[in-house]
Amino acid sequence: MQADNGNGKTVIDLLRHGEPVGGRRYRGQQDDALSERGWEQMWQAVGDVNAWQQIVTSPLQRCHAFATALAERHGTPVQAEPRFAEIGFGDWEGKTRTELEALIPGQLGRFYQDPVNNRPPGAEPLDDFVARVRTGFNAVLTAYPGQSVLVVAHAGVIRAILSRVLSMPSPAMYRINVANAGMTRLMTAGEGTINLVSHGSVVPEQ
């Protein structure tokens, strides 16, 4: 059992993976590795910080590979959490916005206006995704009370967690921008309350 972080509060830092090989596209559960730039983004995001007592990561390699490397650097325990895998995007996986709009013009706009009823064919239902992420997040809170935990995950996972923390309806989570290698900090505040401390810290684009 790790010692607590000294203030009795649980601190959860949510770190999105860096740029994957192949650049920006609807990746979902397609298991692409980080690009060289993605690795640089991730190392720059954490710097020399060694403040985490536990690392929890998505099993997908664009998160897991960095989380494992960081854990080895600092001797920090690391755990893969399958519930933190990205949402399954079905037929959209591996495609860019341009490719999708060329196939069916307007489908992206319809998705963002109503992501429940305009999902990609074969996509994971939004409510199912949010439920599994929130269950995983609750498990982290239960397992590591009073500790500082780094969660390495995906934009969708971070949005789902924030929608829970901020009591947002699930479809509204797509209004939250989560940049590659962006960091979000949450902290418990007693009586089951969790506060959003900061969001959107990211290495500036070159």
Angle between helix 36-46 and 61-74 (nearest 10): 50
What does the longest C-alpha to C-alpha distance in the chain come to?
Answer: 54
Q: Which domains does the chain have, with CATH numbers?
A: 11-201 (3.40.50.1240)
| E strand or H helix that includes residue 185 | strand 183-188
The pLDDT assigned to 196 comes to 94
User: For residue 2, is pLDDT > 50?
Assistant: no
Read off the pLDDT band of 197 (50, 70, 90): very high
The pLDDT assigned to 90 comes to 93
Report the C-alpha gap between 183 and 201 in whole angstroms: 5
The answer to whether 54 and 2 are in contact (CB under 8 A) is: yes
Mind listing the pLDDT tens digit for each residue in 17-46?
999 998 899 999 999 999 999 999 999 999
Mind listing the pLDDT tens digit for each residue in 103-154?
999 999 999 989 999 999 999 999 999 999 999 999 999 999 999 999 999 9
pTM assigned to the model: 0.90
The pLDDT assigned to 204 comes to 37
Q: In sequence order, what are the beta bridge partners of 151?
A: 14, 56
